[in-house]
Amino acid sequence: MNALEPILMEIDREAAITARVLERIPEEHLTWKPHEKSMSLGQLAMHIATIPGGIASMLAGDSYQISPAAFENPPAATSRQEILDALANSVAKARQFVAGLDAERASATWRVMAGTQELMAAPRSARSAPSC
């Protein structure tokens, strides 16, 4: 078994759970907001659906530069199918990233930066990374 196989298995397990939740979102309420300053249900659902691929993109480089502007206008879904398609694409991207890692790259230190300030440094491997 590949050393990263447990991570791939976890991605698949979490994707199935996430899909079950996202499948239950009432399509007629995608524009609903819990508060006027909140994202809409469609925006929140797209955020959840794109997390796996987003994490893969963040981990692809040696560091990730935090950009608050990236969160200013999140995309909103117009249908449940759009959300489920986004999840499938996101999971595929995450699986491709993990499958392409070798042991050296997986254990290499990766950093989160805010400008020149290092906020976090940890190995890419989920087994070694600090929990949130």
What are 120's two structure tokens? 């976090």
Q: Please write the tens of the pLDDT for every residue from 47-72.
A: 999 999 999 999 999 999 998 887 78
State the pLDDT at residue 126: 54
Domain extent listing, the chain: 5-123
Q: What CATH code would you report for 5-123?
A: 1.20.120.450
Q: Please write the tens of the pLDDT for every residue from 2-45.
A: 778 888 999 999 999 999 999 999 999 999 999 999 999 999 99
Instruction: Specify the amino acid at residue 29.
Output: H
Closest CA to 59 of 123, 128, 11: 123
Q: Which DSSP string do the residues of 3-43 spell out, in sequence order?
A: TTHHHHHHHHHHHHHHHHHHTTS-GGGTT--SSTTSPPHHH
